[in-house]
Chain A
Amino acid sequence: MAKITYVEFNGREHVLQVASGVSVMQGAVENNVLGILAECGGSCSCATCHVYVDEAWIDRVGPRSPGEESMLDAVCELQPNSRLSCQITVSEELDGLIVRMPAKQV
């Protein structure tokens, strides 16, 4: 279990308890957090679950996976702290994580 804060592009915050083992993306879509599409359902092939990981957490969520690196080239407005949220697995270590939604996914 971890407390994760999702910040919509307009600034609205959702503070959620997300179960360990699911992805940050699933935490968002299962709780109707707006700003993530994730049409491929987490198979790292649509690049529409893009989030910006808070600076304080970017080194704590683990590295990008090889498949994720090439798919990240596909997002609009790539930043150094960009991640595909379907590739970040929730665990107790991520308690307090903050992620921000981009202006658009597509």
Chain B
Amino acid sequence: MNSESAVYWDPYRPELWMNPHPVFRRLREEAPLYYNEQHDFYAVSRFSDVERGFMNKETFSSSRGDILEYIKADMDIPKGMFIWEDPPFHTVHRAVLTRVFTPKRMNDLESEIRAFCVRCLDPLVGAGRFDFITDFGAQMPMRVIGMLLGIPEEDQEAIRDRVDASLRTEAGKPLEVSQASYQGHGFEEYIEWRTHHPSDDLMTELLQAEFVDETGTKRKLTREEILIFINVLAGAANETTTRLIGWSGKVLGDHPEQRAELVQNPALIPNAIEELLRYEPPGPAVARYVLKDVELHGRVVPAGSAMLLLVASANRDERRYPDADRFDVHRLGPPHITFGRGIHACLGSALARVEGRVALDELLKRFPTWTVDLDNAKLSSTSTVRGWDNLPAFTPTAGSKATSSAGARAVLREAAADAAQQPLSSTPPAGESWELTLSTPAGPQSMTARIVRNGTAFTGSMSSAEMGTRDISGKISGSTLTWTLNLTKPVSIKLSFEANADGEQMSGSVKLGMFGRAALSGRRTP
């Protein structure tokens, strides 16, 4: 263990997280039971050992948490934190939620999940660039779990950021343990309000659910137990699914020929998601507390140790997966272990799969190709969840496959010709002058606008080389202007503008009738 060539691994070093797979291979070959002296933990890396680690709950306990730093900190685990409980507490708490997160119920959510994806993705079309994480991956899972839990939309971002922050590590350093990480501050007011306004959501279900607790008593969940449940779900459902979307962007960007196959044949997408989960699991390492001495590979792991089950390594074990380091959307073979095994296997796995599939489907419809801007990409520094904080990509500005953009181009061409026939309006010289750029599927369109404010309303005009000048009028709310422009040929289409004017800059979007949205940016001119 002390020789120069001995393999070394820990979960904190950024350079090891960037591409851990060569080191994992060495672990599987040279140190199938690995001990790290510096941080005092053991790790197993072969599939069979990782699987046995999950299944042997009598030896490998979840009762001190499944995050390495938490196990070593010997935290008090609040009751109801079922992810960090052993039977019998785990059994009765998890059973309350099992019937919610089932394959059938999660598949029933597909159309709503699709609607969220469309809302996230449509504004990005034609912009030439978007970020898989900040524009999509960090948005959609948050909205889905928020919808499930009945959390009002305006509060969903704050909750996500709070939980994500509790899982961050500083590069090279262990996670800072805080007793408050999963203690529901911020959720209490929703639960109180929801008690008096029951609805068709998970929070209402939790408030009303009756179960038999570990003493055999039939009762409802306590307020504290509900808070903890919701905190766990909100945290788990966001970070991990966001990572899956990020890896979809990175890995398919690295394998453009397979990405093209998915565009041609979307029926391959479910299997592609399974292969993405195998290839780069969002939760690459899961920790357990060793309850009793156990012998592995000729060595005794003493009771009281922390054991890391290296899921990302198990998924690349050639003892199970032929040519394991090859990414192949056609791969048929034994399932991955990304969601774990046994009583703690991921409760949200069906939801993750449905979200992953729908997200990839809607993504490929709008962006059949992209190029990752790796220079500006940033890998997430957490010891528990591995993936991207930022994954910007360049996308085509014209010529994409989606029928919506083809339709938009045709409409804009015809509408410009039609608008040129309209009489010129008399534009007063007063007011603000703006230079605008619309990022449409037909490419960037330049326009100018003149705005004459009058309290909460304005009048003015818009001009472009193609359409000439058209009168506009609209509303002002704070710094936001909204207005429409009606075109009549070849079809009746209403352009709906919404722009935030902040001194010298304007930003917003325009809805192109039913042909999607275009981003809008503007610059004040003298």
Q: Does B292 contact A (CB under 8 A)?
A: no
Residues of A within 8 A of B346 (CB): 39
A18-58 Cβ-contact flags toward B at 8 Å (1 or 0): 00000000000100101001011101011110000000000
B485 interface contact, C-beta 8 A: no
Q: Which of B106, B270, B341 contacts A39 (CB 8 A)?
A: B341
Count residues of chain B with CB under 8 A from any CB of chain A.
Answer: 28
Chain A contacts for B55, CB-based, 8 A? 41
The reply to whether B353 and A74 contact each other, CB–CB distance below 8 Å, is no
Q: Is the CB of A76 within 8 A of B343?
A: no
B446 at the interface (CB under 8 A from A): no
- Classify the secondary structure of B's interface with A: helix
A39 and B343 CA atoms in complex are apart in Å by 9
From B103, B333, B340, B354, A74 is in contact (CB under 8 Å) with B103
Q: Is the CB of A74 within 8 A of B102?
A: yes
- Of the candidates B103, B334, B346, the one having the most CB atoms from chain A within 10 angstroms of its own CB is B103
Is the CB–CB distance between B345 and A75 below 8 Å?
no
Q: How far is the CA of A40 from the CA of B57 in the complex (A)?
A: 12
A47 to B98, CA, bound (A): 10
Decide if A81 is an interface residue (CB 8 Å cutoff).
no
Instruction: Please give, as numbers and ranges, the residues of chain A lying within 8 Å of B353 by CB-CB distance.
Output: 106
Identify which of residues 7-63 in chain B touch chain A, using a CB-to-CB cut-off of 8 Å. 54-55
Per the 8 Å Cβ criterion, residues 38-88 of A in contact with B are 39-41, 43, 45-48, 70-71, 73-76, 78
Which chain B residue lies CB-closest to A104? B270
Shortest beta-carbon distance, A53 to chain B, in Å?
A: 19
Whether B99 and A40, one on each chain, are in contact in the complex, defined by CB atoms closer than 8 angstroms, is: no
What residues of A have a CB within 8 angstroms of the CB of B349 in the complex? 39, 46, 106
In the bound complex, do residue A34 and residue B332 qualify as a contact, i.e. CB atoms below 8 Å apart?
A: yes
A39-B349, A41-B55, A104-B270 known; A47-B341 Cβ under 8 A: no
Are B105 and A40 in contact (CB-based, < 8 A)?
Answer: no
Distance to closest chain A CB from B413 (angstroms): 43
| A75 contacts across to B, CB distance below 8 A | 102-104
Which residues in window 61-112 of B have CB below 8 A to A?
94-95, 98-99, 102-107
Given A32-B333, A70-B99, A46-B104 contact (CB < 8 Å):
no
- Given A32-B334, A39-B349, A106-B353, also A74-B343 (CB < 8 A): no
A-B contact count (CB 8 A): 64
Chain B nearest CB, measured from A39 CB (Å) = 4
B148 to A: closest C-beta gap in Å: 16
B343 in contact with A43 (CB, 8 Å): yes
Given contacts A39-B346, A40-B343, A46-B349, whether A106 and B333 have CB atoms under 8 Å apart is no
Whether B342 lies near A74 (C-beta < 8 A) is: no
For residue A45, which residues in chain B have a CB less than 8 angstroms away from its CB? 94-95, 98, 343
Contact indicator A41/B54 (Cβ below 8 Å): yes
Q: Does B350 contact A (CB under 8 A)?
A: yes
> Considering the complex, which residues of chain B in the window 332-362 have a beta carbon less than 8 Å from any beta carbon of chain A?
332-335, 339-343, 345-346, 349-350, 353-354
Chain A residue numbers with a CB within 8 Å of B345 are: 39-41, 46
B342 in contact with A76 (CB, 8 Å): no
A56 and B278 alpha carbons, distance in the complex (Å): 38
Taking CB atoms, residues of chain B closer than 8 Å to A32 are 333-334
Contacts A32-B333, A37-B335, A45-B94; A73 near B104 (Cβ below 8 A): yes
Contact assessment for B105 and A74 in the assembled complex, using a CB-CB cutoff below 8 Å: yes
- In Å, the complex CA distance between A58 and B107 comes to 27
Shortest distance between the CB of A71 and any CB in chain B (Å): 8
A41 near B341 with CB under 8 A, answer yes
Known contacts A37-B335, A40-B345, A41-B55: A74-B270 contact under CB 8 Å: no
Output the least CB separation between B311 and chain A (Å): 12
How far, in Å, is B177 (CB) from chain A's closest CB?
29
Closest chain A residue to B338 by CB distance?
Answer: A39
CB nearest to A45 among chain B residues: B98
**By the criterion CB–CB under 8 Å, are B107 and A39 in contact?**
no
Contacts of A34 in B (CB 8 A): 332-334
Q: How far is the CB of A103 from chain B (nearest CB, A)?
A: 11
Residues in A whose Cβ lies below 8 Å from that of B105: 74
Interface assignment of A105: CB less than 8 Å from any CB of chain B:
yes
Q: Point out which of A32, A73, A76, A106 has the most chain B C-beta atoms below 10 A from its C-beta.
A: A106
The 8 A-B pairs of least Cβ separation, nearest first, read A74-B102, A39-B345, A106-B103, A41-B342, A106-B350, A41-B341, A40-B345, A45-B98
Subset of 28 A-B contacts with CB under 8 Å: A32-B334, A34-B332, A34-B334, A39-B339, A39-B340, A39-B341, A39-B349, A40-B341, A40-B342, A41-B55, A41-B341, A41-B342, A41-B343, A45-B98, A45-B343, A46-B349, A47-B102, A47-B103, A48-B103, A73-B104, A74-B102, A76-B104, A78-B104, A104-B270, A106-B103, A106-B106, A106-B349, A106-B354
